[in-house]
Amino acid sequence: MAAANPDFALVDLDGREHRLSDYRGKWVVVNYWATWCPPCLEEIPELVAFHDKHKDSDAVVLGVSMEKVAVEKLRRFVDENFVSYPVLPGSPNMDTVGPVRGLPTTYLVAPDGRLVARQVGGVTAAGIETFMNNSK
């Protein structure tokens, strides 16, 4: 896995910079995905539900797009799919938190900044919550 306490700075679709370290004190779900990836599309509603439930209290989702795509096209996709969490345009070979060998890949960062889990393949809101609850 990557560094024990990873950090990155990426700019979202609205031009706002997000640093992983800005979210200390909260769980952070970093989801690497692409618009062309069927399992990625399947998990978006789960990630939206999780983010909406937790964003004002104990956790957030950051979606890192792993494809070269025009910002306007990505923004349209986000709007059409009701993605409520920040989407951060990335690039296909990027591994800001850890290796991304397949899509989707999701990393879970604990409130103290430690990287505590990685899942290659789809995730569910319930699965993330279970992991969080078992790690407290």
pLDDT bracket for residue 102 (50, 70, 90): very high
**pLDDT mean across residues, the chain:** 92
β-pairing verdict for 59-65 and 87-89: parallel
Residue type, 111: P
CA–CA dist 101, 52 (Å, integer): 28
Extended beta strands in the chain, E state? 9-11, 17-19, 27-33, 59-65, 87-89, 105-109, 115-120
The fold for domain 10-134 equals: Glutaredoxin (3.40.30)
**What's the whole-number mean pLDDT along residues 127-135?**
92
93 pLDDT exceeds 90?
Answer: no
In this predicted structure, what is the pLDDT of residue 5? Answer: 73
pLDDT of residue 6: 80
Quick check: helix, strand or coil at residue 37?
coil
Q: For 9-25, what is the mean pLDDT?
A: 94
Q: What is the mean pLDDT of residues 1-26?
A: 85
At 95 the pLDDT is 67
pTM (2 decimals)? 0.93
Indicate the domain borders of the chain.
Answer: 10-134
The residue ranking higher by pLDDT, 6 or 28, is 28
**Tens-place pLDDT, residues 21-32:** 999 999 999 999
